[in-house]
Each structure stands twice: as C-alpha cells, then as structure tokens.
Structure 1
Amino acid sequence: MQNYKNHRRYYPLHHYVITPLSLITLSLALWILAEAYAAGSDLKPGVFYAMVSLSLFLLPIMSRIYALKTQNRIIRMEMRLRYFQLTGKPFYQLEKKLSLAQIIALRFAGSKELVPLIEKTVRENLPPRQIKKAIKDWQGDYLRV
C-alpha cells in the first residue's frame, strides 16, 4: 500500500546500474584523454572515447527527463479532469496559482479531500511536502515513472 513515506520510486536498473556505469565510463574516458594530453600522445582516441561516453551518460538522463515531462503533462490533465468532475468548474484559474510540484502533490489526494485541499493550498501556498502530509485518503500512483 502506497503512502507518503513510501511513494518515491527508484528503479534499480536506472538509478543503481545504468547511470552509475555511464558516469564511471565517462570518468574513465576523461582520464584517458587527460593522460594522453599529459603524455603528448595522439588525442583522437581519447576525444572519441570521451564523446561516446558523454553520449552514453546523457542517454539515461535524457530518457528520464522526457518520461517525467510527459508524465507531468498527464498529471495536469488528470487534475483538470478530476477538478471538473468534482466541481463542474474548469481548473485553469486555480492551476495558474499552483506550481507543478503542488499539483503533483495534490494528485495523491482522494476525491473527498481534493477540492478543500486545493483551496487551502492556494490560500496558504502550502509546499508539496506539507500537502502530501495533509492527505488522509492517499491515492497511490503505482504507474509513476
């Protein structure tokens, strides 16, 4: 059961394998380039390794960023729909008063507490952590990236 304390997601393959390995590979490539430069050797292999390693390092980071941006757009749409279903009013005016982090935090609130919590967040400018702690009926998001 998901709640405030365990809702953060870590993907071991991404966080503990691919990203660290790509960082190690980049570090080694830069070390090889620096060694070649210091020795006055041909820099072409070192530059090549550094460019390939930099690309390999950026791939998991960029793929994660793209996935999170898409997910954030979906959360905005979900919140617009939920607010409209609960109130019959568009969410756009309130949305302008909330940060993306606040909207994401509000996403975890159950339907009965969502509207009052949105109003309180706008009125008191609650930070995301405080919003999440105020939620009583936690709606887990088991599909988060």
Structure 2
Amino acid sequence: MESQNYKNHRKFYPPHHFIYLPLLILLKGFGIYKIFNDEQHQLIWILFSIVIFLLFYLAIMVRQHYALGLQNRLVRIEFKQRYFEIFGLRSDEVEEKLKFSQIAALRFAYDDEFKELLYKALHENISGDKIKKSIRNWRADHHRI
C-alpha cells in the first residue's frame, strides 16, 4: 500500500464517484438535449430531467451528510482520547478553542508533532490545511470514509 501523505490522503468510493454519479450526469445531459430536440414530448423530458437532478442531489447529499457527520464525531472523540493520553487532562477547554478543520488535521501528526502543531493552532490560529502541510512525518489514516 502506498504511503499516505497530504497529496494522496483523499478517498473515493468508485461505484459512487465513477459509475453512479457520471451515469446520472449523462442522463441529465440527455434529458436536457431531448428537451430542446423533442418538442412533441418536451414536458416529459423536463420532468425526466427534474427527477434525474433530484436523484443526483439526493445521492450526493445523503451519502455525504451521514458519513461525514459520523466521521466528524469520531474525529472529535479520537482527539479527546489522544489529548488525554498525551497530557493526562480533559480536552474540553482546548477543543472549544479549535476549529474542526484544525482538529481533523492534527490527527495526521504523530505525538511529538501533535504537541507542536496543537500549540501553533491554539496560539497562532493556523488553519487545518496549513497544519497538514506542516506535518513532517505523516500518520496515515486508511479507515476514513
């Protein structure tokens, strides 16, 4: 398995991203084409295009909403546990000062860099993306959604 880093840490679900969504896009394009080229059945093609658009929208929103919502909760719990293991303290006050993007980025750093980057996030308010780019020794996460 390839070593994970900033450039390759995003993940795709091939049936969804490379089959289902492109198929819906093609159907949407076909429906729009037929709207302008089949005047006899124009209303049917408008309804077809609306239904395809709604399926496309629903497919993206439902999948993302539930998966990311759950993943975000797990990332926060992981942060709390890791903070406790490193510092022996509850993380409630620290967590309130951080944006979620910062918490999510910190999970890719090993403990020594975690401390340093956490300090920068709290005192210099560096962004989650900047935290990721600052990581020298990337701690891979191969279990993301």
TM-score, with normalisation over the residues of structure 2? 0.82
Name the counterpart of 1:16: 18
Alpha-carbon separation, structure 1, partners of 2:96 and 2:35:
49
Residues 76 and 103, structure 1, Cα contact 8 Å, conserved in 2? yes
Which range moved further: 82-91 or 51-60? 51-60
Residues 83 and 115, structure 1, Cα contact 8 Å, conserved in 2? no
Alpha-carbon RMSD: 2.2
Alpha-carbon separation, structure 2, partners of 1:120 and 1:76:
19
Offset of 1:121 from its aligned partner? 1.1
Residues 108 and 138, structure 1, Cα contact 8 Å, conserved in 2? yes
Alpha-carbon separation, structure 1, partners of 2:94 and 2:37:
57
Offset of 1:118 from its aligned partner? 0.8
Which range moved further: 55-64 or 81-90? 55-64
Residues 109 and 138, structure 2, Cα contact 8 Å, conserved in 1? yes
Alpha-carbon separation, structure 1, partners of 2:6 and 2:41:
55
Alpha-carbon separation, structure 2, partners of 1:13 and 1:40:
35
Name the counterpart of 1:52: 51
Name the counterpart of 1:138: 138
Number of residues of Structure 1 aligned to a counterpart in Structure 2: 142
Which range moved further: 15-24 or 104-113? 15-24
TM-score, with normalisation over the residues of structure 1? 0.82
Name the SS for the 1:139 alignment partner.
coil
Name the counterpart of 1:103: 103
Percent identity, please.
38
Q: Deviations over 1:76-95 (max 9, x none)?
A: 11111111121122222222
Alpha-carbon separation, structure 1, partners of 2:33 and 2:92:
51
List gaps (5 residues or longer) in structure 1.
none
Q: Spell out the pairing of 1:1-145 with structure 2 (5 A cutoff).
A: 1-35=3-37, 39=39, 41=41, 43=43, 45-62=44-61, 63-145=63-145
